[in-house]
């Protein structure tokens, strides 16, 4: 996995490439926590180039969402493939996250 981090207005956008799985989930967690420590509050994590997320990856997203909310911020997700959306729906995490069709839509209204 690798990820690209950019800033759009005041929103930190993280584009995840590859797989977000048990072997690399902490890389994403560390990056977001660093940004929170720097005072960033609003995040979009984009999965347009993500092949697969396992249960540990889902767990990290839940954990980060809680942490961001504790700091008064908000996390939105975007660009889930049909397969990834299925995993969110099965686990009912689609009810926990705001999920946008693409990152541009995710950025709207922040």
Instruction: Give contact residues for another protein (rule: CB under 8 A).
Output: 19, 21-24, 52, 54-56, 58-60, 62-63, 66, 83, 86-87, 90-93, 95-96
The whole-angstrom distance between residue 22's C-alpha and the CA centroid of its chain comes to 15
* H and E: helices and strands count for the chain: 4, 5
**Which residues, 6+ apart, have CB-to-CB distance to 82 below 8 Å?**
none
Closer by beta carbon to another protein, 31 or else 105:
31
Q: At its nearest, how many Å lie between another protein and the CB of residue 37?
A: 19
Closer by beta carbon to another protein, 6 or else 86:
86
Q: Retrieve residue 16's tokens.
A: 């995840």
Q: At its nearest, how many Å lie between another protein and the CB of residue 92?
A: 4
């Amino acid at each position: 996995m690798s990820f690209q981090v950019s800033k759009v207005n005041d929103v930190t956008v993280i584009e995840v490439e590859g797989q977000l799985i048990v072997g690399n989930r902490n890389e994403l967690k560390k990056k977001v926590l660093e940004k929170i420590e720097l005072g960033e509050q609003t995040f979009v994590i984009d999965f347009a180039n993500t092949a697969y997320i396992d249960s540990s990856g889902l767990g990290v997203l839940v954990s980060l969402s809680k942490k961001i909310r504790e700091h008064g911020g908000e996390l939105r997700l975007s660009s889930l493939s049909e397969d990834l959306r299925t995993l969110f729906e099965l686990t009912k995490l689609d009810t926990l996250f705001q999920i946008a069709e693409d990152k541009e839509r995710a950025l709207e209204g922040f």
